[in-house]
Amino acid sequence: MVDNKYKYTNSLIHEQSPYLLQHAHNPVNWRAWNDETFAIAVREDKPIFLSIGYATCHWCHVMEHESFEDEEVAEVLNMNFISIKLDREERPDIDSVYMEVCQAMVGNGGWPNCRIKYLYL
């Protein structure tokens, strides 16, 4: 059921994670990490914009408010990327891979952890 009191509703509205549901009304067209999302990225020939965070992360909420609720930021992301929002508590296996890469590349890591992933198929 979609709540019509919000200006935006993306596909995260169908998720169970409290963190993902917090982003269900962002203007960013967020999608969950799943095969369907990756198939869309391939079909549209767009890179993935991956944002990893969790429900009680202060800086994740700041980033949502300052970036992901901004319609201009959303327009750029929606036009150029397939955006995936990932709950690190729901998928620690995926989070750990990206955190290791982040730490190897820049020497540290934290959340929110946002990365662009190009699909080469």
Q: What is the pLDDT along the chain (121 residues), one digit of tens a residue?
A: 555 688 999 999 999 999 999 999 999 999 999 999 999 999 999 999 999 888 888 888 888 888 999 999 999 999 999 999 999 999 999 888 877 777 776 666 655 555 445 444 3
Cβ proximity of 78 and 29 under 8 Å: yes
Which tokens is 69 given? 């609720």
The three-point CA angle 43-21-79 to 5° equals 35
Give the C-alpha separation, 20 to 39, whole Å. 20
Query: Is 11-117 a CATH 1.10.443.10 domain?
Result: no
What the block records as the tokens of 2 is 């979609």
Q: How far apart are CA 101 and CA 98, in angstroms?
A: 5
